[in-house]
Amino acid sequence: MTGTHRLDYVASPGGTLRGTLQVPGDKSISHRAILLGGVSEGTTHITGFLQGEDTLATLAAFASMGVRIERVGDEVTVHGRGLHGLEPPPGPIDLGNSGTAMRLMTGLLAGQRFDSVLIGDASLMTRPMARVMTPLEMMSASVTGSARHTAPLHIEGGRRLRGIRYPLPVASAQVKSCVLLAGLYAEGDTEVVEPEVTRDHTERMLEGFGYEIRRDQGIALTGGGRLAGGGIAIPGDISSAAFFLVGACIASGSELTVRGIGVNHTRDGVLRILEAMGAKLELHNHRIAGGEPVADINVTASALRGIEIPPEWVPLALDEFPVLMVAAAAAEGTTTLSGAQELRVKESDRITAVADGLMRLGIRCETRPDGMIVHGGELTGGTVQSFTDHRVAMAFAVAALAASGPVTIEDCENVATSFPSFVGLANQAGLTVEERYAT
């Protein structure tokens, strides 16, 4: 953002997506690579690191705790300090807009010998943190926040943590990861039991760093071990690829390949949902990179139809629902989403934000406490609010591909948190998106 000027996107109607794209590295994995690399023993070399504001905030946080980090583009070298080698930061740790960083680091910092304070931007300071505070208190950690259980989070160091068995009240990879990271410092076993499968990047990466993970009824580890640094190749982010997958489905004549995308089975909900809607997707060149399954994805223009999204797929596609609801708007028939109450407490209330935008573009939809109903129809042009949510902003830029007029999206500054190269790649692929500053 420049001075007091607001960054808007203006997306021209129509277009065809063609060619081959490479999207930036996975945000979730980039966070975890810095976090675990910082407390490992030895050096960790990361390739494909996402250079977004969220992940750079995590990098800066560990640098403030004495971790030497070298970065050249998307290659990062982390000189680990070991599980007990971090130094007290000089002041509060500012994590910007990143809920992932805040929740995961709360678990890690609960086991340190020093006190710490976590803060963030205006949006992050309103997001719920009781979900991590509660299990950490059960582990004998001390984490205090505001009266509403939001940041700033004050984490007391020097506590003697104990392992617990924790059934998650709601499926959440962030809470699971927070508890497991605290478990590295706890006496005995720590086990997390999930009501639904969630993304498993933390478990995979812990194993990649040489830490034993046990999977029976839940995910368990024993505290007191060590992490060994090594090499991590971060795949392309499926959440970023989702904008182009949906765009190619709804734009007539499109044929697009997105290379090197992470297709972990705990993150592939967007592929399952699009295929159930009739999308023409082909995965090829399957391989393993950094312990994660990777593939190239080819997508062609498709006649989508509305579906009732199976609730068990919801945790596997949580970040992709803004653009999936755009797909629903361009589909024939009705799409029903339920069991997605977690969308209410993301960077925005995404149920309200997406429904508001779709209705402004002529689509009939209804909201529910845990989801929404979208009636496919003809998208018009118009002006929508992003509610300063990066994924909402990008989703409505994609909507212009099926719209009859230009789509203006207000307040798009936060796209830089996860996908700073979005506009450039979008225009390269065949969208026409212009950045405009407005007062």
At 43-101, the pLDDT tens digits run: 999 999 999 999 999 999 999 999 999 999 999 999 999 999 999 999 999 999 999 99
Q: Which two tokens stand for residue 429?
A: 């692929």
For the stretch 387-405, pLDDT in tens is 999 999 999 999 999 999 9
Confidence of residue 2 (pLDDT cuts 50, 70, 90): very low
* One-character DSSP codes across 370-396: TEEEEE---B--EEEE-TT-HHHHHHH
For the stretch 190-205, pLDDT in tens is 999 999 999 999 999 9
Element holding 106 (H helix, E strand): helix 99-109
Average pLDDT over the chain, rounded to whole? Answer: 96
Q: Which residues of 122-138 are buried (b: 16+ CB within 10 A; e: fewer)?
A: ebbbebebebbbebbee
- CB–CB of 386/363 below 8 Å? no
Q: Is the dihedral of CA 358, 362, 367, 371 positive or negative?
A: negative
Q: For residue 305, what is the DSSP state?
A: B
Confidence of residue 36 (pLDDT cuts 50, 70, 90): very high
The residue-averaged pLDDT of 206-227 equals 96
* Pairwise CA distance, residues 233 & 224, whole Å: 27
The residue-averaged pLDDT of 275-290 equals 95
* Pairwise CA distance, residues 411 & 152, whole Å: 25
* Pairwise CA distance, residues 229 & 204, whole Å: 14
pTM, whole model, 2 decimals?
Answer: 0.93
The residue-averaged pLDDT of 216-221 equals 94
- Of 151-165, 283-297, 367-381, minimum mean pLDDT range: 283-297
Q: Which CATH architecture has domain 27-233?
A: Alpha-beta prism (3.65)
Residue at 169: amino acid letter: P
Strand partners, 249: none
For the stretch 16-31, pLDDT in tens is 999 999 999 999 999 9
The residue-averaged pLDDT of 234-262 equals 98
For helices 130-138 and 173-183, give the axis angle rounded to 10 degrees: 30
Element holding 46 (H helix, E strand): strand 43-47
Please determine, for residue 420, whether its predicted confidence score (pLDDT) is greater than 80: yes
6-25+235-438, CATH topology level? UDP-n-acetylglucosamine1-carboxyvinyl-transferase; Chain (3.65.10)
What pLDDT is recorded for position 5?
Answer: 83
Q: Three-state DSSP class for 269?
A: helix
What pLDDT is recorded for position 439?
Answer: 74
- CB–CB of 38/62 below 8 Å? yes
Element holding 103 (H helix, E strand): helix 99-109
Q: Which residues of 280-297 are buried (b: 16+ CB within 10 A; e: fewer)?
A: bbeeeeeeebbbbbbbbb
Element holding 75 (H helix, E strand): strand 75-79
What pLDDT is recorded for position 109?
Answer: 98
In 263-377 the beta strands, taken as DSSP E runs, fall at 280-289, 292-300, 334-337, 364-368, 371-375
Please determine, for residue 426, whether its predicted confidence score (pLDDT) is greater than 60: yes
Element holding 232 (H helix, E strand): strand 231-233
Confidence of residue 290 (pLDDT cuts 50, 70, 90): confident
What pLDDT is recorded for position 4?
Answer: 64
For the stretch 94-144, pLDDT in tens is 999 999 999 999 999 999 999 999 999 999 999 999 999 999 999 999 999
Q: Is 82 left (phi over 0), alpha (psi -120 to 50) or beta?
A: left
- CB–CB of 76/69 below 8 Å? yes
Confidence of residue 1 (pLDDT cuts 50, 70, 90): very low
Which residues carry out catalysis? Answer: 319
* One-character DSSP codes across 134-190: HHHHHTT--EE--TTS-SSEEE--S---B--EEE-SS--HHHHHHHHHHHTTSBSEE
The residue-averaged pLDDT of 2-15 equals 86
Please determine, for residue 289, whether its predicted confidence score (pLDDT) is greater than 90: no
Q: Three-state DSSP class for 86?
A: coil
Please determine, for residue 7, whether its predicted confidence score (pLDDT) is greater than 60: yes
Q: What percent of the chain has pLDDT over 90?
A: 97
* Pairwise CA distance, residues 333 & 110, whole Å: 49
Domain positions in the chain: 6-25+235-438, 27-233
